[in-house]
Amino acid sequence: MNAVILLGPPGAGKGTVAGVLVDHGCEHVSTGQLLRDEIAKGTALGLEAKELIDRGQFVSDDTVIGMVRELFASTESDTTFLFDGFPRTLVQAEELDKMLQALGGRVLQVVLLDCPDEVIVERLSGRRTCKKCGTVYHLAYNAPLREDHCDADGCALIQRVDDQVGTIRQRLDIYVNQTEPLIHYYEAKGLIERVDATQSIEHVRDAVSSKLG
């Protein structure tokens, strides 16, 4: 069992380029989506996660590592995972190495999406989400036909708490403190491939594809 890691600040476009890596044979795993599923189900984990996410914070290392350990236990041994949003901390990265080594695998590559803070803030703060179907719009790049209403079902659009400027800046601060050290960790292993994420989606996808083996 092996892993490819998609690394970068919130809003850098990790989810957007994940499809490129899936096309190269990876199984996409978004820990953020796993947590959102728990929130939607109203589980104890979901309620705890929602409180932290609303404050622009991350869930504990132990919780996330436990989710990944369960994922490994229920998956075929020849799988190559694409991790989007994991690891976020050095503790998580070190535990991921241990889990993979125990299964005879390793981290194959780390794709780093570089993107300045101001671009991140502009991208995320412009997002609006349909309360009913979950469709995401952007006021500048993908605006709805009718202001503040979903094209599909006419429901009101909302700005999620984690898309508000204050929360975005909190998330970026946490990224600098907790996640940026991973860049040095993986650089020391010779695994980092950098991509300029300020380019168009098409250019970023092409750049990611060109860096894959």
14 carries an active-site annotation: yes
In the set 123, 128, 171, 205, the catalytic residue is 171
CA distances from 202 to 52, 69, 162 (A): 33, 34, 26
In the set 36, 106, 160, 194, the catalytic residue is 160
211 carries an active-site annotation: no
Own/partner contacts of 10-13, CB < 8 Å, gap of 24 or more, are 10/120, 10/124, 10/168, 10/171, 10/172, 10/175, 11/115, 11/119, 11/120, 11/121, 11/123, 11/124, 11/168, 12/113, 12/114, 12/115, 12/120, 12/197, 13/113, 13/115, 13/197, 13/201, 13/204
108 within 8 A of 193, measured Cβ to Cβ: no
160 carries an active-site annotation: yes
What CA–CA distance (Å, rounded) separates 140 from 144? 10
In the set 123, 127, 128, 205, the catalytic residue is 127
What CA–CA distance (Å, rounded) separates 103 from 84? 21
Q: Which two tokens stand for residue 104?
A: 């005879």
In the set 50, 88, 123, 128, the catalytic residue is 88
88 carries an active-site annotation: yes
Point out the residues that are catalytic: 14, 88, 127, 160, 171
